[in-house]
Structure 1
Amino acid sequence: MTVLALVCLGIAVFAPALSLRPALPVWVGAAVTSTALGGAALAASATAPVQGVALAATLVLTTLAAVTGGGPAVLVAFRIARRQPDAGPDPAPPPGPLRGGRVIGVLERGGVAVSILAGWPEGIAVIMAVKGLARYPELREPNASEQFIIGTATSVLWACAVCGVGNALLT
């Protein structure tokens, strides 16, 4: 079951690349990633704690799945928040008031994953505080606070969910 859980985590790492294909809607990548994460969770619930190479693979795959899978999840959350129907391939999202959000989201999810896997969940509060202080001057622009809250909440919740699966393999 450990191998199955690691394979599912590997799929969760690479499935977000489906969202990069212009012929597919963004929700396809998010759905495949979420399904793979669910499969990893089910397999992880029936395993003994990992050791050796499987331990290293778990840590690496969990961190990568947290970082890569959050992007499509955030885009789907923005689409739901805008209440736009999915009419086919996703056009490029209109630029929002907060620039650099994708790169910041990757760094945020990576920091959250490392904090949780290192056994220091208080690090999430530090990451959130730094991000909030850095974005504070921009949050008065129209739609900025909504974009900030939706993106940050989705990103952090995704990273926490992935790390929960990773921790199931570790303990």
Structure 2
Amino acid sequence: MIVVSLVCLAVAAVAPVLGLHPRIPAPLGATLTTAALGGAALAATATDPAHGFALGATLVLTAAAAITGGGPAVLAAFRIARRQPDAGPAPTPPPGPLRGGRVIGVLERGAVTASILGGWPEGIAVIMAVKGLARYPELREAQASEQFIIGTSTSVLWAVAVCGVGHALIT
């Protein structure tokens, strides 16, 4: 079952790249990523703790799935938020107010993953505090704070969920 979990984690790490292809709808990549993570979680419940090569592969694939899969999860959360009755008219996607969000999100998920897998979950608070302080001047703009909260929360929750699957495989 460890092999099934690792294959599912690998699919969860690679599937978000499918959403970047112009012929493949973006929601398909997000759906496949989520389904693969669910499969990895189910298979992880029936395995012994990983050791040796499987341990290393688990750590690498967990980090890759956490980092790559968060982007589609955040975009899906933004789509859901825009459909809410209190969301108002759908804003046009300007280059701001929160430029660099995708790169920052990748770095954020990588830091959260390293913090959790390194045994220091308190690091999540430090990461979020640093990000909030760095973005503070931009958060006064219209809809910036809502975008920040939805994006950051979804990104961190995705990374924590993937790390939970990885943790289930190594313990």
Q: TM-score, normalised by structure 2?
A: 0.93
Q: Which residue of 1 aligns with 2:46?
A: 46
- Establish whether residue 20 from structure 1 lines up as the match of residue 20 from structure 2: yes
Q: CA deviation at 1:83?
A: 1.6
CA distance in 2, matches of 1:114, 1:39: 23
Question: What's the CA shift for 1:80?
Answer: 1.1
- Kindly provide the amino acid, as one letter, of the partner of residue 79 in structure 2: R
Q: Cα deviation per residue 1:36-87 (whole Å; 9 max; x = unaligned)?
A: 0000000000000000100000000000100000000101111111129xxx
How far residue 95 of structure 1 moved from its aligned partner, in angstroms, is: 2.8
**Which amino acid in structure 1 is aligned with residue 78 of structure 2?**
F
Structure 2 counterpart of 1:144: 144
Indicate if the aligned counterparts of 1:98 and 1:138 stay in contact, CA closer than 8 A: yes
Aligned to 1:127: 127
Q: Helix, strand or coil for the counterpart of 1:20?
A: coil
SS in 2 for 1:12: helix
List aligned pairs for 1:88-99, cutoff 5 A: 93-99=93-99
- Quote the offset at 1:96 in angstroms: 3.4
Q: Which residue number in structure 2 is paired with residue 164 of structure 1?
A: 164
* Shift in CA distance, 67/49, structure 1 to aligned 2, threshold 3 Å: same
Aligned to 2:56: 56
TM-score where L is the length of structure 1: 0.93
Aligned length: 164
List alignment gaps of at least 5 residues for structure 2: 85-91
- Where does structure 1 lack aligned partners over 5 or more consecutive residues? 85-91
Counterpart CA distance in 2 for 1:142 and 1:52 is 51
Give 1:21 deviation, angstroms. 1.6
CA RMSD of aligned residues (A): 1.4
CA drift of 1:19 comes to 1.1
